[in-house]
Chain A
Amino acid sequence: MARKVKSVQETGGKTGSTGHGGVWNPELAKELVLRTHSTATTFRYFGTKKLEIPCKYFYLAKVFRNEAIDATHGAEFHQAEGFIVGDGLTLVDLMGFVKEFYKKLGITKIRFKPVFNPYTEPSLQAYYYDEDAKKWYALINSGIFRPEALEPYGIKKSVIAWGMGLDRMAVILNKKQRMKDIAGGHLSFDWLKSRPTIKSEL
């Protein structure tokens, strides 16, 4: 696996890509790291070769960033991630999925923006309109996995993937301001007990 990754990173392997160039250092890659984003787990799952294609998977992950803590940033938070593996999945399919996802959250006013992720191309960020703040916010980042990303795992079908900050979504749904208001061991039990959990609509 390491040889395949090195080959794709440096020269593109068998994908027809030019690769990133540079030198991929396996020693550096072996160093243990608390995952900084959920996509790391998606690729680990690809590595287990347990995928039955076509398939749709999702999961919720705790992720970690080695940064100083302040009013709006913690060292750990949560992401939701999912992917679909199948025939002929394109950008408009990804847009269709994201649009439906937002609809389930009760949001229909959305806009798409091209963005960059090293492992997806094209990549898409979906913004929603916050009526109270009168601003557009990005919630969902997504894309189509690049051939170079899939090649070491032998995945030949198209894969669309999406991810989002779960705490961010909880902040929106609970009509709060910051992640610290809805997540963490410091939360008031009284608030947790008194939150309405049965709602007729989001």
Chain B
Amino acid sequence: MVVIDTKFNLLQNLVGKKFTEKELVEILFDMGFELEEKVGDDIKIELTPERSDCISTYGLARAIRAYLGIKTGLPKYAVERMISTCKVDSSLKQVLVPVNPEEKAPWQYVVCAVVKGLEFDDDRIKEVIRVQEKLHQTYLRKRRKGGIGIYPLDKIKMPITFTAMAKDKIKFRPLEANKVMTGSEILMKHSAGREYSYLLEGNKNYPVFIDANTNILSMPPIINSHDTGKVDETTKDIFIECTGVELEPLLVTLNILTTMFADMGGKVHGFDMLYSGKKIKTPDFTTRKRTINLEEIDQLLGIKFSAKDAKKLLEKMMHSANLKGSKLEVESPSFRVDMWHAVDIIDDIGRAYGYNNMKPRFPNVNTIGNIFPETKIKDDMADVLAGLGLVEIFTEALTNEDDQYSKMNTRSVPYIKIPHAVEPSLNMVRTWLTPCLFRSLNFNRSNRYPQEIFEIADVVIPDKKADVKSKNVTKLSMLIADLTANFTRAKQVLQALSESMEVQLEVKAKDYDWFVSGRSGAITLNGKEVGYIGEFHPQVILNWGLEVPVVGFEIDLSFL
């Protein structure tokens, strides 16, 4: 989910219609968004991630205007003319940026645009900064996928070049600094450089924009030059660039920004991006075209629409549609990045119609219901144990070595590790249940005794042969904590369970690290060991902060 901060009055003005807070809640709900909060004029709106076109208030107002029927159909955007070129040097292929902790990719793509004839006030500038930062944080994955630079045009001499330069040869005065710095110095001493140093660390060269006067305009994705300046209330014309590791997201980002500036009244001019081997024109306002059959709509939504009605609904979602026989030719705006398949178009028809206007019908699929045999047996076992007065509990699967082994007086066995655990005490998956039940006894040490509990649940053990290199094993663990608890009490429960399941579970003497020597045994089924039972060692009881004897057993239920 993406949450945007904007202003209620701005949104109202841009939509071109007055609405109350309650009405806005309803409109956004039906569109699939949510008004999270309104405090005075400040509002927070939750968007779904595929509607990055609504990240700017202008984009959101555009969508609402169409949805309300105020201005429907395909919004038209055009590039006035190609204003200049940007040469893209292949040296950028050597600049590697970590797109995630495991992978690096070359920062080799760039798209540009110019917008002229703008008027900026304080609110507009704040909106632009907010949109830029939100795109950086969400769509561009904290600048790992791409970076955006917006500059006043007047100090830039076209044409420009995007290239890689040795980090100590890069010398310019970055924004918010009072002197010239090298690329390395920026990463070490400048606040933006330090915050985003992880993006460029380890490279000998960093990306730079250079204009026709060989001035450095910026070092993406870190910081712009102080000499080109910041957009302020006197700015009329701007230059926008997006650089990054993949071309498609940059085209989308540029699209969101240029359409926003066009909606502000600006005129968009384009660039020829000169890559080695190909030339790309940006920005790209090419619409997306797809043809669907009317019956496909019924097949997906369950409602028959006439071509006329379907067309009107599509126009409320900013598409245009023309009937050709029994097919609809649909044209979608370039900023709708979520149109991958015919189902996306039909989904829009559904949203425009209004989900709460549809008549639900129970699916006509006849099947015979059942529960998997293993599940039924586990449920029946739980019933028997509950009938014996034990309480069923459910504990956590994530744990640590100290709980699983040290506190149980034993050594660790192979287990599944979690290397990047955010909670350091939850860095492995349990291999047995008994310690988890002890943890529960510890939480309950101030409650009444006797405490008689059990759990039937999965543990995970490594398995080299499995495709996921591990396997789930279902186990049953039972503990009785009581002043008079002894081996016989545990054996009685085991016997009752065994008899109710028609299996012969037997016990043969065996010592374990966590039990009192001579007061424990292995549980066997047809001679094979399937578990253990006994009186717990006083050290284990002390380790868990308890003051009463504890007895119990744990069985591997794989034999079911």
**Residues of A at under 8 Å CB distance from B?**
12, 15-22, 25, 27-28, 31-32, 34, 54-56, 62, 64, 66-69, 74-76, 84, 86-100, 111-116, 121-124, 144, 146-148, 160, 183-190, 192-193
Complex: A124 Cα to B361 Cα, angstroms: 15
| Shortest Cβ distance from residue A173 to the other chain B in the assembled complex, whole angstroms | 16
Known: A66-B422, A192-B391. A84 touches B49 (CB 8 A): no
7 contacts between A and B (CB under 8 A): A22-B246, A66-B421, A90-B302, A97-B363, A113-B355, A114-B347, A121-B344
Complex: A189 Cα to B391 Cα, angstroms: 7
Complex: A183 Cα to B369 Cα, angstroms: 28
Chain B residues 49-97 with CB under 8 Å of chain A are 49-51
**Cβ-defined partner of B301 (8 Å) among A16, A67, A91:** A91
- Chain B residue nearest to A124 (CB atoms) is B355
On whether the beta carbons of B359 and A92 are closer than 8 Å, the reply is: yes
On whether the beta carbons of A88 and B299 are closer than 8 Å, the reply is: yes
Q: Which residues of A contact B416 (CB under 8 A)?
A: 32
- Chain B residue nearest to A187 (CB atoms) is B393
**Cβ-defined partner of B398 (8 Å) among A76, A92, A190:** A76
Complex: A188 Cα to B442 Cα, angstroms: 11
| Shortest Cβ distance from residue A58 to the other chain B in the assembled complex, whole angstroms | 9
Q: Which residues of A contact B30 (CB under 8 A)?
A: 113-114
On whether the beta carbons of A185 and B436 are closer than 8 Å, the reply is: yes
Q: Which residues of B contact A91 (CB under 8 A)?
A: 300-302, 350, 355, 358
Q: Which residues of A contact B303 (CB under 8 A)?
A: 90, 92
Q: Which residues of A contact B344 (CB under 8 A)?
A: 121
Binary interface profile of B, 35-61, with partner A (CB < 8 Å = 1, else 0)? Answer: 000000000000011110000000000
- Chain A residue nearest to B47 (CB atoms) is A116
On whether the beta carbons of A32 and B469 are closer than 8 Å, the reply is: yes
Complex: A198 Cα to B254 Cα, angstroms: 60
- Chain B residue nearest to A15 (CB atoms) is B341
Known: A17-B340, A188-B447. A116 touches B49 (CB 8 A): yes
Q: Which residues of A contact B392 (CB under 8 A)?
A: 192
Number of interface residues of B (CB under 8 A): 73
On whether the beta carbons of B248 and A189 are closer than 8 Å, the reply is: no
Complex: A99 Cα to B355 Cα, angstroms: 13
On whether the beta carbons of B360 and A92 are closer than 8 Å, the reply is: yes
On whether the beta carbons of B351 and A56 are closer than 8 Å, the reply is: no
Complex: A116 Cα to B31 Cα, angstroms: 11
On whether the beta carbons of A115 and B48 are closer than 8 Å, the reply is: yes
Given A17-B340, A66-B422, A84-B363: 12 more A-B contacts, CB < 8 Å: A12-B340, A21-B248, A22-B246, A32-B470, A64-B398, A89-B365, A90-B298, A93-B361, A97-B362, A116-B50, A121-B341, A188-B447
On whether the beta carbons of B391 and A193 are closer than 8 Å, the reply is: yes
On whether the beta carbons of A84 and B343 are closer than 8 Å, the reply is: no
On whether the beta carbons of B397 and A62 are closer than 8 Å, the reply is: yes
Q: Which residues of A contact B420 (CB under 8 A)?
A: 66
**Cβ-defined partner of B468 (8 Å) among A32, A62, A93, A148:** A32
B306 near A: Cβ within 8 Å? no
On whether the beta carbons of B423 and A114 are closer than 8 Å, the reply is: no
Chain B residues 409-440 with CB under 8 Å of chain A are 416, 418, 420-423, 426, 429, 436-437, 439-440
- Chain B residue nearest to A65 (CB atoms) is B422
Q: Which residues of B contact A186 (CB under 8 A)?
A: 440, 443
- Chain A residue nearest to B420 (CB atoms) is A66
Q: Which residues of B contact A113 (CB under 8 A)?
A: 29-30, 32, 355
Complex: A23 Cα to B436 Cα, angstroms: 42
B504 near A: Cβ within 8 Å? no
On whether the beta carbons of B346 and A122 are closer than 8 Å, the reply is: yes
Candidate in B32, B246, B344, B416 with the most chain A CB atoms within 10 angstroms: B32
B366 near A: Cβ within 8 Å? yes
| Shortest Cβ distance from residue A97 to the other chain B in the assembled complex, whole angstroms | 6
Candidate in B51, B347, B358 with the most chain A CB atoms within 10 angstroms: B347
Q: Which residues of A contact B359 (CB under 8 A)?
A: 92
| Shortest Cβ distance from residue A161 to the other chain B in the assembled complex, whole angstroms | 12
| Shortest Cβ distance from residue B318 to the other chain A in the assembled complex, whole angstroms | 15
- Chain A residue nearest to B395 (CB atoms) is A185
Q: Which residues of A contact B302 (CB under 8 A)?
A: 90-93
10 closest residue pairs by CB, A with B:
A90-B302, A185-B395, A92-B302, A95-B360, A116-B48, A114-B32, A86-B365, A96-B360, A17-B341, A112-B355
Complex: A97 Cα to B443 Cα, angstroms: 41
B342 near A: Cβ within 8 Å? yes
B444 near A: Cβ within 8 Å? yes
On whether the beta carbons of A90 and B301 are closer than 8 Å, the reply is: yes
Q: Which residues of A contact B358 (CB under 8 A)?
A: 91-92, 95, 112
Complex: A185 Cα to B393 Cα, angstroms: 7
On whether the beta carbons of A75 and B451 are closer than 8 Å, the reply is: no
- Chain A residue nearest to B25 (CB atoms) is A136
Q: Which residues of A contact B338 (CB under 8 A)?
A: 116
**Cβ-defined partner of A76 (8 Å) among B298, B351, B397, B470:** B397
**Cβ-defined partner of B426 (8 Å) among A28, A55, A75, A188:** A75
Q: Which residues of A contact B361 (CB under 8 A)?
A: 92-93, 95-96
Complex: A190 Cα to B450 Cα, angstroms: 11
**Cβ-defined partner of B362 (8 Å) among A18, A19, A75, A100:** A100
Q: Which residues of B contact A55 (CB under 8 A)?
A: 367
On whether the beta carbons of B423 and A189 are closer than 8 Å, the reply is: no
Complex: A74 Cα to B338 Cα, angstroms: 32
On whether the beta carbons of A12 and B396 are closer than 8 Å, the reply is: no
Complex: A189 Cα to B392 Cα, angstroms: 9
On whether the beta carbons of A147 and B422 are closer than 8 Å, the reply is: no
Complex: A111 Cα to B469 Cα, angstroms: 43
Complex: A106 Cα to B107 Cα, angstroms: 55
On whether the beta carbons of B393 and A22 are closer than 8 Å, the reply is: no
